[in-house]
Amino acid sequence: YAVGNISGLGEWSPEHAELLSPDGPYPTWTRRVALPPDTDIEWKCIKRLEAGDTSQVLQWEPGDNNRFRTPASGDAGQQIGTF
């Protein structure tokens, strides 16, 4: 899952995080997310429970938050998080 500081990434709420999909050789996972223009984004990858208490995070991506600023228009490009 990807979770972050904007509503499209769950506003740091694990139960509202965006589910990533396998894409390529393990462990590559992806997701396209609509982001607001001209906005500072912070996010992390998480591993969380799939059923039951979906707010329970099993693992947070280590280190500082991933950060970038979306452009005023167009595509923000690929952003990468790692475990």
Q: How many CA atoms lie within 13 A of 57 on its CB side?
A: 16
Task: Please answer whether residues 42 and 67 qualify as being in contact, where contact means their C-beta atoms are separated by less than 8 angstroms.
Answer: yes
The CA distance from 13 to 10, in Å, is 5
pLDDT tens for each residue of the chain, 83 residues long: 999 999 999 999 999 999 999 988 888 899 999 999 999 999 999 999 888 888 899 999 999 999 999 999 988 888 988 87
User: What pLDDT was estimated at residue 14?
Assistant: 95
> Angle at CA 22, nearest 5°, toward 49 and 9?
60
Rounded to an integer, what is the distance from CA 57 to the centroid of its chain?
Answer: 13
Strands 29-30 and 2-4: unpaired
Q: Token match 């462990």: residue? A: 27
What is this structure's pTM? 0.89
